[in-house]
Amino acid sequence: MKPTEIKPDIYWVGAIDWAVRDFHGYVTPKGTTYNNYLVMDEEVTLVDTVKYDFAARTLKNIANIVDPAQIKNVVINHVENDHASSLDRVMALAPDARIFITERGLQVIERFFDTSSWNITTVKTGDEVKTGKYTLRFLETPMLHWPDSMMTYVPEAKLLISQDAFGQHLATSTRFDDEFSRCASHAELEEAVVDYYANILMPFGRLIKAKLREIEELGLEIDMIAPDHGIIWRAEPQRVMQMYAGMAAGAADLSVAIIYDTMWHSTEVMTQPIMEGVKDAGVDVKVIKLRDTPMSVAIT
């Protein structure tokens, strides 16, 4: 997949993982993408890397635009392996690049890599890096979903690079929400948002509510949200934020899931009158046998 310009001189340079079906225990029947972004400014800047297995692809995408040795800054929004594990491959080509990362992120990459020769700056919410015409402003999002997590906001482009938040596990040749909705369906996209939220972010609803409030109070103008998985929200960035606000508040359609397991089917027999009772009350109901259902499906 070639790079895609998402804003003037800002490119998606990530990789599509069509084949992954088990994402650390989370079933991903539709694969995923590892998104990272190249800011082609006076100081060439890479925001995030990709999963190690896909390092060659992102480096090839970058090389399509610029010699990777020209990279001056690398922002690491999140140190989990699907985003930071090819950092050493990038640094081998751009050894003088400055790395921007949270304090907690630094503690982790020091365990993964020999960082002794790397030029690393730790950043907090509100810190900025000027790359030329663009500014990268950092917003820490601790426990969304790891202690180190942060986002990078580009005010001149009204672009929020949101790291894992607002992502979806969808491998797709389309890069934007409006393209995906045309080729597949809008419902499929929203289902992927719910599935991802349920499995990655659901325990952190209170923190998400507070973070959405903080984004509002900071008055960040956002007309594009570029997450590190799945499609980029170009047409409806506000819609996905509304969806998160609703899910964080526990809003849901009225429905019941009866999740059970059974040795000799006795418990299974019990599920049927319960299911009938719920159905008779006019409520949608699903019966899920846990041992025959992937955990991530039951969680959703």
156 classed as catalytic: no
**Catalytic position from the list 48, 82, 140, 148:** 82
CB of 28 to Fe ion, least distance (A): 11
Of the pair 164, 177, the CB lying nearest Fe ion is at: 164
Tokens of 267: 């418990």
Backbone torsions φ then ψ of 16, nearest 5 degrees: -105, 125
Where are any strands of DSSP class E within 8-106?
10-12, 15-17, 22-23, 26-27, 32-34, 37-39, 44-47, 71-75, 98-101
Strands 71-75 and 98-101: parallel
- Give CA–CA dist 7/3, Å, rounded: 12
The reply to whether 82 belongs to the active site is: yes
Instruction: Name the active-site residue from 48, 164, 177, 228.
Output: 164
Q: How many Cα atoms sit within 13 Å of 225 on the Cβ side? A: 23
DSSP conformation letters of 189-236? HHHHHHHHIIIIIGGGHHHHHHHHHHHHHTT---SEEEESSS-BBSS-
* Interacting residue with Fe ion among 17, 41, 48, 80 (CB under 5 A): 80
Q: Measured from the CB of residue 193, what is the shortest distance to Fe ion in angstroms?
A: 14
Question: Is 148 an interacting residue with respect to Fe ion (CB under 5 A)?
Answer: no
Can you give the length of the chain in residues? 300
Q: Are 90 and 49 in contact (CB under 8 A)?
A: yes
CB of 251 to Fe ion, least distance (A): 24
Which of 17, 41, 43, 82 contacts Fe ion by CB under 5 A? Answer: 82
Q: In terms of CB distance, is 41 or 164 closer to Fe ion?
A: 164
Residues 151-190 within binding reach of Fe ion (CB under 5 A)? 164
Contacting range for Fe ion; rule: CB under 5 A; set: 23-31, 44-52, 76-84, 116-124: 76-84
Q: How far is the CB of 156 from Fe ion (least distance, A)?
A: 26
Residues identified as active-site: 24, 78, 80, 82, 145, 164, 196, 229
- Tell me which residues touch Fe ion (CB under 5 A): 80, 82, 164
